Amino acid sequence: MTDEWTISGGEVLTEDGFAQERLILGGGLIQAEGGAHTRSYDASGTWVLPGIIDVHGDAFERIIEPRPGVRFPSAVAFAEVGAQLLANGITTAFHGLTVSWEPGLRGIDCARELVSAHRTHAPNLDADTRLNIRWETFAVDHVDEILTWLQSGGGDILSINDHTTANRVLETGAPKLERMATRMGVPSRRVKQLIDDVWARRGEVPGAIDRICKNARNLHVAIFAHDEETPEDRVEARAHGVTVSEFPVTAQAAQAARSDGEHVVMGAPNVLRGGSHNGALCASGAVRAGHCSILASDYYYPAQRHAAFRLADDGILPLEDAWKTVSTHPAEAVGLTDRGRISQGLRADLLVIDQKTRDIRAVFVAGRKVFERG
């Protein structure tokens, strides 16, 4: 049963900026008028903001498998994920589920288990929890199965990834190869052989990309492209119906997307930490230059909220615009027209955040108060 609430006393981020307004929630939506049984929430001293939308979050991998080879029951793991999402103000989440040719955590068997677990447990979570299915382009044998998942997923998105081309030059003993070996649960020399084996099938990759993108478009699935390096990469991806550039490697690639009105996703931890942990493009600089429009949690759920405030504190964007990078713009990128903004008739996904401490006081999802911190 949905709740009816009147939220008053706070500064509400409306479509015209911050304003002292009263919000009425009912039937899961923001309403013009309240019913006879409306409860009151005092939001004095707070900002009332749209709920955070996370289009790419990998942190759930470390909740499911916190140590290599140590797996926890899916019901326990997804419940913990759901609690962490709400505690960090994320009301809509797309878990980054990698489908690779690799064995282990990112292999097809694990992906099947996680998709099944997600379909079972996501309806029981308070946050709207979906999948960002990250298909590695050399996993050509799994295209049909992924399309089946997208057809039945009800709002999942597809991300096109190619790490094989870069990883094929790694030599045995390289730190990245050792990390991959740990993730796969095989010796590093075996990783090198596996990469060589899939690289031999590179002639099958273009056809697989064509097929998965064509069918995803027919399913009206949002398609992202990961790690684009050049404007030419963006043009090629655009021809496949890819509308979002996810973690572009260079400013030129990011600019090519933004200049054509397309959204660019980068990591909120990059902003929060003051730079990339692996030498990638600086997200704060990209936002300042107008080359980045969306910040995702990437690998750390608290990052989106704190990164939006850091953009404001550093004078890069006013808070009302900084918050769009974690709410309005992600909703646009994945076609969720019912959320990401505070306006009558939209889904009532809201955060109440203390202006002094910036702690989350309350979270409302579809009009229900699902989290409160005293």
Where residue 42 sits, what CATH number does that domain have?
2.30.40.10
Number of structural domains found in the chain: 2
Mark whether 264 and 132 lie in a shared domain. Answer: yes
Is residue 234 within 8 Å of residue 253, measured between CB atoms? yes
Q: Decide: residue 368, CB within 10 A, 0-12 exposed, 13-18 middle, 19+ buried.
A: middle
Mark whether 318 and 352 lie in a shared domain. Answer: no
pLDDT at 2: 55
* Closest residue by Cα to residue 331 from 220, 222, 214: 222
* Closest residue by Cα to residue 292 from 318, 240, 256: 256
pLDDT at 278: 67
Q: Are strands 46-50 and 350-354 parallel, antiparallel or unpaired?
A: antiparallel
| Residue 340 belongs to some domain of the structure | no
Mark whether 71 and 10 lie in a shared domain. Answer: no
| Residue 339 belongs to some domain of the structure | no
This prediction's pTM: 0.94
241: CATH: 3.20.20.140
Mark whether 227 and 278 lie in a shared domain. Answer: yes
Per-residue pLDDT reduced to its tens digit, 139-173: 999 999 999 999 987 799 999 999 999 888 888 78
Which ranges of the chain have pLDDT less than 70?
Answer: 1-2, 277-279
Looking up tokens 């997600």, which residue turns up?
Answer: 118
Quote the CA–CA distance of 342 and 23 in Å, as a whole number: 9
Is residue 28 within 8 Å of residue 367, measured between CB atoms? yes
Mark whether 40 and 57 lie in a shared domain. Answer: no
Mark whether 43 and 62 lie in a shared domain. Answer: no
Average pLDDT, the chain: 93
45 contact partners, CB below 8 Å, separation of at least 6: 9, 10, 354, 355, 356
The range of the structural domain enclosing residue 275 comes to 52-334
Kindly give the residue spans of alpha helices, DSSP state H, lying in 29-142.
Answer: 59-64, 74-87, 108-121
pLDDT at 248: 95
Mark whether 323 and 357 lie in a shared domain. Answer: no
| Residue 159 belongs to some domain of the structure | yes
pLDDT at 1: 45
